[in-house]
Every structure is written in C-alpha cells, then in structure tokens.
Amino acid sequence: MYQAILFDIDGTLIDHSSSQRDALREFQSSIMPDASFDDFHKEWKRLGKFYFDKYADGEVTLNGQRICRIREVLGKDGAGISDEEALGLFERYIETYKKYWRPYPDVKPVLECLKDRFSLGVISNGDSRDQREKLYSTGIATYFKAIVISEDIGMAKPNPLIFSHALEILGIGAHEAVYVGDDIKADIEGARNAGMLDVYIDRDSTGYMDASVRIEDLYGLMDILI
C-alpha cells in the first residue's frame, strides 16, 4: 500500500515548456533582436539539456552551467563576456521566466484529491530559491510536506540519495512511495534505483514505455492509486 507520492516540478507540475517559450521570446528580443526566434529557442533548449545534465552528474556547478549556456547561445558575442555579466543576463532571463510560470490545469484538482490520502512531496534539481518560489507563486506549495531541492543538499537526481533524503523527511520507506516525473534519466531511473515506484508522465506523448507506469496526465494517477 502506497503512503506517499512525490513529484518532479518542471514538466510535471509546472508547464515549463510554455513558460520557457513565452519568456524566451521576450528575453531574445532584448538581447538578440535580429536573431530568428525559432533558432534561438531551439539552441536554448539544446544547451539547457546538455549543461543541466552535466550539473546533475556533478561535472559543473549550477552557476557554471548558467554561464556556459549564456555564452554559447550568444555565439561569437558571448566569448568576451565575464562570468558576472553572463550570470547577470541569466538572472534577467529568470526574472522574465517568472512572469510566465503556471501549473498544468490538472495539477490543483489532482493534488486536492490526493492530499488527504497520501503524504505529498517534491524532489527537484535546480536553484532552491527559484524552485520554491515557483511552487509558492503558483499556489501549490502548501500541498507538500517535503520540498527537496538539489542545491540545498548538494546532490541531484538521478542520485538515489536525494530520493532517500525526501523519504526520510516523510518517514516513509521507498517501497511505500511513488515518484512522478517527465525525465527518463533523472526521474524514472533515479526513482527506480531508489526503490520507489517510478511513474513517467508523458505530457508530450513521446510513447516511452520502459517506465514501471506511464500516464499522460496527472489524472492517470487516480486510476492506479485510488
């Protein structure tokens, strides 16, 4: 019998793709107004995936991956900027991104149904301030008894220890817990290696079938848990 359900944030609870796209359109127009938005958007997503994976693997720091992303997305114009300038530009992007944060439509109804039946929690890679603010500003933070962010504890998904840390806070064993996420490596492999039931939320209909459970939205949790 499962006692706890834990969630990833971006792409699972918060509509990161839409928020990022809207923020990038505004950000790009201020720093590279003559560039193609489609090209800029594609490159930003590529760099984000590449360097955030390096951060998750412990190869670069959180700020280090931000600096690399800014320098590379600027192309030849990024070669001469300092670390401080790069971080300043990334902070400008973050402030723009915050304006567009929004949960998926299924999030609040499902959390409302689950909150009295299960202990709920979040495990997320990223900047602690930003990730926590994301939960509070969208009105969903109060649903969670445990909020664990990689920056706070010095380890990131898929390291099983970050999952174990969250379970310790909840006082729940891994075999009693479910983890829901959209990233195959960080979320699905990480949760499985930690001994939890891994649930892949396939909002983009990728068709990935190697997770223990696959759902297309959070309403799918109701079918398997209630």
pLDDT tens column, 203-224: 988 888 889 999 999 999 999 8
106 and 68 within one domain: no
173 and 81 within one domain: no
Task: Report pLDDT for 206.
Answer: 86
135 and 220 within one domain: yes
| Amino acid of residue 31 | I
Domain termination residue (choose one: 60, 83, 98): 98
Give the integer Cα–Cα distance in Å for 104 and 82.
37
pLDDT tens column, 2-13: 999 999 999 999
Instruction: Single out the residue of 213, 211, 199, 203 nearest to residue 7, CA to CA.
Output: 199
pLDDT tens column, 79-133: 889 999 999 999 999 999 999 999 999 999 999 999 999 999 999 999 999 999 9
pLDDT tens column, 126-150: 999 999 999 999 999 999 999 999 9
Average pLDDT, the chain: 95
144 and 187 within one domain: yes
9 and 21 within one domain: no
Say which CATH number the domain at 51 has. 1.10.150
Domain that holds residue 63: 16-98
142 and 78 within one domain: no
165 and 106 within one domain: yes
As for how many domains the chain has, the answer is: 2
CB atoms within 10 A of CB 20: 19
Domain termination residue (choose one: 41, 75, 98): 98
Tokens 């590379």 appear where?
72
Give the integer Cα–Cα distance in Å for 218 and 114.
11
pLDDT tens column, 31-73: 999 999 999 999 999 999 999 999 989 999 999 999 999 999 9
Task: Report pLDDT for 179.
Answer: 99
63 and 122 within one domain: no
210 and 111 within one domain: yes
Percent of the chain with pLDDT over 90: 90
Q: How far is CA 184 from CA 40, 97, 102, 154, in A?
A: 25, 24, 23, 21
Torsion angles phi and psi, residue 190, rounded to 5: -60, -50
122 and 198 within one domain: yes
143 and 90 within one domain: no
Task: Report pLDDT for 79.
Answer: 82
Residues 6+ apart with CB under 8 A from 80: none
Task: Report pLDDT for 4.
Answer: 98
Say which CATH number the domain at 199 has. 3.40.50.1000
202 and 120 within one domain: yes
Domain termination residue (choose one: 98, 125, 147): 98
Provide the token pair at 114.
Answer: 């689950």
Overall pTM > 0.85: yes
